[in-house]
Structure 1
Amino acid sequence: MHRISNRITRRTFLHRTGLTAAGLAASGLASSRAFSAPAVLTAPIRSQAKRRPDLIDEKSPPGLEVVQLTAEPDVPSSHLYMEAQIFAPDSKRFVLHRSASAHGGSRSDPKHQYLLCDLEDDYSLHPLTEELGATAASVSPDGRYLYYFVDETTTGGGKLTLKRVNLDGTDRRTIVAIDSPLPETSFRPSKLYPLSTISSDGKRLAISAFLGDGQAANGPFGLMVFDVEKGSVRLVIHGQTWCNMHPQYCRSTDAEASHDILIQENHGCETDARGGITRLVGGEGADIHVVRDDGSNFRNMPWGRDGNEACQGHQ
């Protein structure tokens, strides 16, 4: 989908299409609901794409084309959140997810899975995951792999698994499984953030999680960095204010810059004992930092929390 004219807001566009945050859902189709959707798709889906000239008006940019990709009447599908790395480098293939909103799917929902959309194959959809709890997908910079997590964690326990699969759905591998405290810590990750970020060289993957033990409110959150070649993980930063980190790796291919991660700190954040956010940010507001993926070289970005401007939206 091409960029919408700035004269039409995202909210207005979604209202016109009859869609909610699950932006690719087939809302309002006249299909019968007599037959429920399968829990898991196992074969490619073809010929669902539908061009929607009814969503274009005289204010739309010349040449704009809107294509509806999915058509399951009782299962919403969505793009991944805006900072997720989900396109292959040729921009001809990208990953979306089924039974989800842009913010993610439920780890207990058997219908939630990641699909590859092939734009040159009439927008065909190809299942990439089948596991319950699949989350936080990232496409490798070379377009060869999809990395994702299988979240079977509980507060202070359970298991977290990092997996990799080729973009054609073959050669699924487990990179590392965590069922004990993170190395050199007493922390067990849970309540995984629904977005991961991958380094520009494809060697490291970062994601945040709740680290509390469920015994007290306002427990810590932290940023984990996975070495996908070594199958290892390390905790690089943690604390109570990292409840909504939005980690993003630097896209530079420079050897040093490729280790930098942009992170958001929510001052005044409050959570319950299980990591549920009860207050996202306090009066001090949020600010943005950069940290090297080994936990060193922590830097402050020069905006926000000065009484004049505030960080809002996405970096």
Structure 2
Amino acid sequence: MKGPASTIWFDESNWVLDEEVAFQERFRDPETGVRILRLTSQPCISTNIYPEHPASTPDGRRFIFARMAPLSTWCTYWIADIETRRVRQITDEPEARAPVVSPDGQWFYYSVGRTIWRMSPQTFEREACYEIPADFGPTVGIRSISADGHRFLTAVRTPTGSYGVAAIDLREQRSWILFEGPDVRNPHEQYSRNASRKVLIQVNDGIQMDEHGNLIKLVGEMGASLHVVNDDGSGHVKLPVGSSLLERVQGHQCWVGDKDMVITTLHRREAPDKPWIQDRVVTIVPGESAYRVVGQGPGFTHIHTTPDGRFWVADCNRSGDIYVGSVTTGRFRLFVHSGSTFGAAQYTHPHPFFLGDGKTIGWNSDVTGVPQIYCARIPEGFLESLE
């Protein structure tokens, strides 16, 4: 058992402690009126966890984010409490990666090398609970957790030297390869949020890397493809979206709440000699022959849904604006102007996500010149206006 990385909660927010000031009206979005809370202000990179990863507590009060010193790749992970508006460091290992929150909120998990650690959300004490087998090649840590909280997914090099996705069962203390292939190098592996234990996997068909691991080509001519498989490796289905000269998936997708349904954003063009446009949000049910458009307009990019699967949130890669839409009606509204520059670095992308109660949205922004963490409560009646 290891003690907590820190016992100190820091207040870095834009909410002034003096009662006569408190929240300043200049932090409302000028168009929507949404009250924007900035939770961090230190002169270092603060960035949230990629939207598809379960990094917030189910009550919507807390979420985990990462911090990096300038010119460093070493992350420490922190937790933000939106009620107290305070943040606290929760890891201190140089190789800490990939924190996830269990579906019931009773545990946080993260990886250090091959070791999976479990953390108490009350005391922040930590204990090692599993060692990933040595015959699996380098892993980037656990990225997803099953609905029952017992199994995890991680991207690995397989014993044959290929690339793949492995499942890890903590209760049974075992792990296995469930999907592999030469282009499974950026799988965005995700467990469904229900008892079906289906796994969503991205394959970057035609990806090219040099001998040092530097990216040469992200995808081939047809773009990436999306696949769903049971976590025992059976029932493989390629989703009927993208993989053509006229349509590509962007590589931003997740499960729609607790449904066996996937939501993703698309690139499309009228002809091979025409420019790509990026304007559609679609849903696909594994086993069905066609997708359904559930949003069309601005340059929708990163995508996430509420826990009940009724609403989606996406950022626009041309403006940095954040939109919320209905999965049922396809209607959408501007939520906030994030001010993010949306450059090459991931921490300049908003990456909006719903917290665990579906009532708050978090995002990144470098509007101050330094990437910081932001969130806002969804105003009363906002979601209902979309249905």
Give the deviation of 1:288 after TM superposition.
0.5
Q: Distance in 1 between matches of 2:78 and 2:115?
A: 19
> 2:98 pairs with 126, 130, 136, which one?
136
Deviations 1:2-49 (A, max 9, x none): xxxxxxxxxxxxxxxxxxxxxxxxxxxxxxxxxxxxxx9623223221
| Residue aligned with 1:295, SS | coil
> 1:204 pairs with 131, 151, 155, which one?
151
Q: Distance in 1 between matches of 2:172 and 2:66?
A: 28
Give, as a single letter, the amino acid of the residue that structure 2 aligns with 1:308.
Answer: L
Q: Distance in 1 between matches of 2:6 and 2:238?
A: 46
Give, as a single letter, the amino acid of the residue that structure 2 aligns with 1:77.
Answer: S
Give, as a single letter, the amino acid of the residue that structure 2 aligns with 1:267.
Answer: D
- Could you tell me which residue of structure 2 aligns to residue 58 of structure 1? 30
> Within the alignment, does 1:71 sit opposite 2:41 as a pair?
yes
Whether the 8 Å contact between 1:210 and 1:275 is mirrored in structure 2 is no
Whether the 8 Å contact between 2:29 and 2:35 is mirrored in structure 1 is no
Q: Distance in 2 between matches of 1:169 and 1:100?
A: 26
Q: Distance in 2 between matches of 1:100 and 1:210?
A: 29
- Could you tell me which residue of structure 1 aligns to residue 21 of structure 2? none
Deviations 1:99-154 (A, max 9, x none): 179xxx83xx2xx221121222x222222211110001110000111111112xxx
Q: Distance in 1 between matches of 2:69 and 2:230?
A: 32
- Could you tell me which residue of structure 2 aligns to residue 49 of structure 1? 13
TM-score (norm 2): 0.57
Give the deviation of 1:55 after TM superposition.
4.7
Q: Distance in 1 between matches of 2:116 and 2:214?
A: 23
> 2:207 pairs with 236, 258, 269, which one?
269
> Within the alignment, does 1:87 sit opposite 2:29 as a pair?
no
> Within the alignment, does 1:311 sit opposite 2:275 as a pair?
no
Q: Distance in 2 between matches of 1:41 and 1:54?
A: 35
Pairs within 5 Å for 1:1-315: 42-51=6-15, 53-59=25-31, 61-62=32-33, 64-73=34-43, 75-99=44-68, 106=73, 109=74, 112-120=75-83, 122-151=84-113, 160-178=114-132, 180-181=134-135, 188-190=136-138, 192-193=139-140, 196-211=143-158, 220-252=162-194, 255=195, 257=196, 259-315=197-253
Q: Distance in 1 between matches of 2:148 and 2:200?
A: 16
Q: Distance in 1 between matches of 2:126 and 2:183?
A: 36
Deviations 1:278-314 (A, max 9, x none): 2211112211010111111111111111333211141
Give, as a single letter, the amino acid of the residue that structure 2 aligns with 1:246.
Answer: H
CA RMSD, aligned part only? 2.5
Give, as a single letter, the amino acid of the residue that structure 1 aligns with 2:153.
Answer: A
| Residue aligned with 2:250, SS | coil
TM-score (norm 1): 0.70
Give the deviation of 1:198 after TM superposition.
0.7
| Residue aligned with 1:251, SS | coil
Q: Which has the higher contact order (CA 8 A, sep 6+)?
A: 2
Q: Distance in 2 between matches of 1:237 and 1:131?
A: 30
Q: Distance in 2 between matches of 1:137 and 1:100?
A: 19
Whether the 8 Å contact between 1:84 and 1:195 is mirrored in structure 2 is no
Whether the 8 Å contact between 1:147 and 1:164 is mirrored in structure 2 is yes
Give the deviation of 1:57 after TM superposition.
4.4
Give the deviation of 1:222 after TM superposition.
1.1
Give the deviation of 1:212 after TM superposition.
8.2
Deviations 1:57-78 (A, max 9, x none): 431x23x1112212222x2211
Structure 2 unmatched ranges of 5 or more = 16-23, 254-387
Structure 1 unmatched ranges of 5 or more = 1-39, 152-159, 182-187, 214-218
Give, as a single letter, the amino acid of the residue that structure 2 aligns with 1:142.
Answer: D
Whether the 8 Å contact between 1:128 and 1:167 is mirrored in structure 2 is no
Whether the 8 Å contact between 2:111 and 2:142 is mirrored in structure 1 is no
Whether the 8 Å contact between 1:96 and 1:116 is mirrored in structure 2 is yes
Give the deviation of 1:180 after TM superposition.
2.1
Give, as a single letter, the amino acid of the residue that structure 2 aligns with 1:119.
Answer: I
Whether the 8 Å contact between 1:221 and 1:239 is mirrored in structure 2 is yes
Greater share of residues in strand: 2
Aligned residues: 241
Whether the 8 Å contact between 2:202 and 2:251 is mirrored in structure 1 is no
- Could you tell me which residue of structure 2 aligns to residue 16 of structure 1? none
Whether the 8 Å contact between 1:127 and 1:169 is mirrored in structure 2 is no
Q: Distance in 1 between matches of 2:132 and 2:142?
A: 18
| Residue aligned with 2:249, SS | coil
Q: Distance in 2 between matches of 1:68 and 1:287?
A: 36
Give the deviation of 1:56 after TM superposition.
3.7
